[in-house]
Structure 1
Amino acid sequence: MSSARYPAYQSSDWPTFNELPAHWRVVRGRHLVTIQTGSGDTVDAEDGGQYPFYVRSDTPLRSSGWEFDTRAVLTAGDGAGVAKVFHLVSGKFMAHQRVYVLHDFREVTPEFFFYAFRSMFYLMALDGSAKSTVDSVRRHMIADMPFGIPPIDEQLAIAGYLDHETTQIDALVAKQEELIRHLGERRLAVITTTALRGLRGEEAGQHDVKRWGSSLAVEPWLARAPRSWGVERFKTVCPPRDERNVAGTELMLSLTVKGLLIDRSTMAIQQNASDASIPRYFVTRPGDLVVNPMWLTGGAIGVSDKRGAVSPDYRVFEIAKALDPWYLHAVLRSAPYFDQYRLYTRSNTTFDRRIKQNDLDNLPLPIPPIDEQHAIVEHIDEQTSRIDALIAKAEEHIALAKERRSALITAAVTGQIDIRTARKAS
């Protein structure tokens, strides 16, 4: 980021900036834009509609009708999108009744206002604790919000500079995200190939896996497993554990889509159980298999590494001694098994996508000799640890790039850097 500064500054005690270039003016939002909300409801959305329908999320829906035909900045009025969801739009569109539509720009360009509003509004939306945002945005929060306003030609220069710089940063982020996607595919391939074919990748299997059921996605993989391996039904090696949290003293756990059991108190969105439901929670022990049948297709299946209690909507299973728990973990999180879970689902709704216990019971599982299972687990851990390190490094690059992007925008729209000098230097 350029360190160029304006020659002179004026002091300010606003929460969004403490100084501005001497020739900038402080103007409240009500004097810069007209503040309205939409009139649409989510039920009005129509797939294939001609016009975008902006709701309280990053992804707009579609509508067959429109109510605005203008250049505007949009932001969520309540929900999880408060101070996070922003759109700069142009043309005909529909807006949700809890989406603010800021338009009819006066003394400010839409592009500069978008950058300034998006950069600073989260400070205005804080509830005073500096930790969380308010549940809903009130009109006065936007109307009273102060903006540092430079001359129009300078606004155009700042917006143009930020367009150029953020495009470059976004391209770098996109490359890192693509790298993460490829690394994720490579990780899944390591797990799948090793867990289902062994360390030597044998394909000389002789298992008649069709006896376990028809149209199973895992059949081709099990048919190519080493000849020394057995095949058993899920229910023969994973009996249910029906121990309940009667005393209510167990650590409350939740299963992530990565197959990890985590302490509920550490989750960003708290899921507090009612006192009446706590005794019904299932107790899980280290080495148990835990399944969330409603989110199985998304990855909510894995072996527990800690003792605790999980939702009564989950299922907990003991694992037979013939299986290394972490070998089973790898098998059930391999690509063909995810394909099988999707085949078992009836719908994408919460209830209908629940995997039935009978389907799970009849799922065939490969059973290598126990020593080979241990070796497979060790190999998978070694390979995935390397991949995970690369993923972590890419995620670090993304976080730093996004931090730089945010800091650059804030510095530019509050006059902490002189874009005129920065553009000449670049």
Structure 2
Amino acid sequence: MTDVQMFAQWLGVLPDNWAVMRPKVLFSERRSPNNDSDIHLTPSQTHGVLPQTEYIRKTGNRVVLNLEGSDSMKHVEPDDFIIHLRSFQGGIEHSALRGKVSAAYTVLTPRSGADPRFFRWTLKSHGYIQSLQATVNQLRDGQSIKFGDFDKVPLPLPPLDEQRAIADFLDAQISRIDVLIDKQIKLIAVLRERRASVVTHAVTGGRSPSDMPTSGADLGQWLGLLPEGWHAARPRHLFTERRERSRSNDIHLTPSQTHGVLPQAEYMKMTGNRVVLNLTGSDSMKHIEADDFIIHLRSFQGGLERSHTAGKVSSAYTVLTPSSPVDADFFGWVLKSHGYIQSLRATVNQLRDGQSIRFTDFDKVPLPLPPLSEQGRIAMQLAYEIAEIDVLVAKAEAHIVVARERRAALITAAVTGQVNVHPSGREGQGVV
């Protein structure tokens, strides 16, 4: 089996009047240098090809400016396609704009007979992306896919009128699916805002807090006016820092914002993420007990994690253990609440992502201290209310998964002829 035949397998059995084409027959590589008037374009998987300024405004992400001078950038015409540094993950981007892109990218221009609207879907289809990944599986993330790699994956070529009919069909169908997905995404955002509000409201006694602090001037603002019988306590009066070295039988624990504290092996299995092993030896790791809290490297983004089991964690983390009678369930909510996280972030706004929050930083943000019996009552009520919200979030997320699977399947089916959207007859198939 030749490479062309192997990589053509993603096409399956095409209609009789379709052809299987080498990409170099359908596209040429545009190597034109940019013009003085060209705007800087940024291709991305989620937003397509945007002017760089609009991409930064929309995403908040800073992009790496071209360091070799604008005269080394490549010109792009409307209906060109751009192979960028993430194309092996998300396909090749269609540009509706004229402009310029980094010289690291490959710019493709369609030849006669290749409708850009049809190939806009084809080159982003799941089946095509899987085959493209197979051609470049030796490339490291961030390396460029060259025209020679692009040419290895054969492409379907329906008659031109059928290309247009498929593009019209997908434009309409995918737009409907995307509207449904967008509604679910907005619903999840509303539910998560509601979740955050419910937690902060409960752990501050139901009073309205002041505006969130923007500096470390008054970090008690997040508590607002506490109910009678509650106190604003210094964290050092409630928690001490555990500094015990790990024990020989301790399991390695990994804290995360989304999954809490898990055994390292379970964390890797659940997320597929590899974690950095402790490089200084197990004797430098810290012991942790059940109901201890961990300040980890993302705590300024997502709060502190409570451990439900004993084990050991990296020495880079700060381990806190209750030093006075407190309800661990209640403080599990407090130390993950939005208001608390905003105040914690204000104490460490000079820290870079990846630097550790120390006990002295933790001690700067006052904590609410209701009577012990009320802590337990609030924790139980929150567990009930938040469970209901989380069920709704999970349902919305499941709807999105199903819709995205449907979206991907429909695109691949349409661009490989499994969906007949054209009334004309079909005859003859060739491999060019």
Match of 2:246 in 1: 245
Distance 1:305 1:364 in 2: 24
What is the percentage of aligned positions where both structures have the same residue?
A: 24
Segments of 5+ residues of structure 1 without an aligned counterpart are 1-10, 41-48, 206-212
Match of 1:260 in 2: 260
Q: How far 1:243 sits from its partner (Å)?
A: 2.3
Report SS of the residue matched to 2:13.
strand
Does the alignment pair 1:22 with 2:16?
yes
> Would the alpha carbon gap of residues 370 and 138 (structure 1) be closer, same or farther in structure 2, given more than 3 Å must change?
same
Q: How far 1:333 sits from its partner (Å)?
A: 1.8
> Would the alpha carbon gap of residues 336 and 75 (structure 1) be closer, same or farther in structure 2, given more than 3 Å must change?
same
Q: How far 1:230 sits from its partner (Å)?
A: 2.6
Paired residues of 1:67 and 1:92 also in contact (CA < 8 A): no
Match of 1:91 in 2: 97
Q: How far 1:238 sits from its partner (Å)?
A: 1.3
Deviations 1:109-133 (A, max 9, x none): 12211211211332214459x9x99
Distance 1:252 1:30 in 2: 52
Match of 2:60 in 1: none
Corresponding letter in the other structure for 2:301: G
Paired residues of 2:76 and 2:101 also in contact (CA < 8 A): no
Corresponding letter in the other structure for 2:20: V
| Aligned with 1:326 (options 325, 329, 346) | 329
> Would the alpha carbon gap of residues 237 and 83 (structure 1) be closer, same or farther in structure 2, given more than 3 Å must change?
same
Report SS of the residue matched to 1:372.
helix
Deviations 1:268-293 (A, max 9, x none): 2211315534432323222110112x
Deviations 1:156-201 (A, max 9, x none): 111111111111111111110000000001111111111111xxx3
Deviations 1:70-94 (A, max 9, x none): 132223346xx63225422133333
| Aligned with 1:121 (options 118, 122, 128) | 128
Paired residues of 2:7 and 2:154 also in contact (CA < 8 A): no
Paired residues of 1:255 and 1:300 also in contact (CA < 8 A): no
Q: How far 1:30 sits from its partner (Å)?
A: 1.6
Deviations 1:331-387 (A, max 9, x none): 122222122123223347326x75453231132111111111111111000000000
Report SS of the residue matched to 1:20.
coil
> Would the alpha carbon gap of residues 134 and 220 (structure 1) be closer, same or farther in structure 2, given more than 3 Å must change?
closer
Deviations 1:308-352 (A, max 9, x none): 33222221111234211121121122222122123223347326x
Distance 1:383 1:38 in 2: 60
Match of 2:381 in 1: 379
Paired residues of 1:12 and 1:20 also in contact (CA < 8 A): no
Match of 1:395 in 2: 397
Distance 1:189 1:36 in 2: 52
Does the alignment pair 1:73 with 2:81?
yes
Aligned residue runs from structure 1 range 327-346, under 5 A: 327-346=330-349
Deviations 1:183-230 (A, max 9, x none): 001111111111111xxx368x9xxxxxxx9733542624x2221123
> Would the alpha carbon gap of residues 269 and 101 (structure 1) be closer, same or farther in structure 2, given more than 3 Å must change?
farther
Distance 1:275 1:414 in 2: 50
Paired residues of 2:316 and 2:356 also in contact (CA < 8 A): no
Distance 1:300 1:142 in 2: 44
Q: How far 1:13 sits from its partner (Å)?
A: 8.8
Deviations 1:387-422 (A, max 9, x none): 000000000111111111111100000000101259
Match of 2:280 in 1: 276
Distance 2:133 2:222 in 1: 55
Match of 1:149 in 2: 157
Corresponding letter in the other structure for 2:24: R
Range with bigger deviation, 132-141 or 119-128: 132-141
TM-score, structure 1 normalization = 0.80
Paired residues of 1:38 and 1:100 also in contact (CA < 8 A): no
Paired residues of 2:82 and 2:106 also in contact (CA < 8 A): yes
Distance 1:367 1:375 in 2: 13
Corresponding letter in the other structure for 1:402: R
Q: How far 1:52 sits from its partner (Å)?
A: 2.1
> Would the alpha carbon gap of residues 309 and 34 (structure 1) be closer, same or farther in structure 2, given more than 3 Å must change?
farther
Range with bigger deviation, 136-145 or 172-181: 136-145
> Would the alpha carbon gap of residues 92 and 385 (structure 1) be closer, same or farther in structure 2, given more than 3 Å must change?
same
> Would the alpha carbon gap of residues 219 and 123 (structure 1) be closer, same or farther in structure 2, given more than 3 Å must change?
closer
Segments of 5+ residues of structure 2 without an aligned counterpart are 54-64, 210-214, 425-432
Distance 1:279 1:111 in 2: 60
Distance 2:102 2:283 in 1: 42
Distance 2:131 2:216 in 1: 59
What is the alpha-carbon root mean square deviation over aligned residues?
Answer: 3.5
Match of 1:111 in 2: 117
> Would the alpha carbon gap of residues 354 and 216 (structure 1) be closer, same or farther in structure 2, given more than 3 Å must change?
farther
> Would the alpha carbon gap of residues 183 and 153 (structure 1) be closer, same or farther in structure 2, given more than 3 Å must change?
same
Paired residues of 1:288 and 1:317 also in contact (CA < 8 A): yes
Range with bigger deviation, 356-365 or 184-193: 356-365
> Would the alpha carbon gap of residues 93 and 54 (structure 1) be closer, same or farther in structure 2, given more than 3 Å must change?
farther
> Would the alpha carbon gap of residues 121 and 38 (structure 1) be closer, same or farther in structure 2, given more than 3 Å must change?
farther
> Would the alpha carbon gap of residues 350 and 275 (structure 1) be closer, same or farther in structure 2, given more than 3 Å must change?
closer
Distance 2:191 2:217 in 1: 30
- Number of aligned residue pairs: give it: 387
Deviations 1:47-100 (A, max 9, x none): xx952233788686456956313132223346xx63225422133333345433
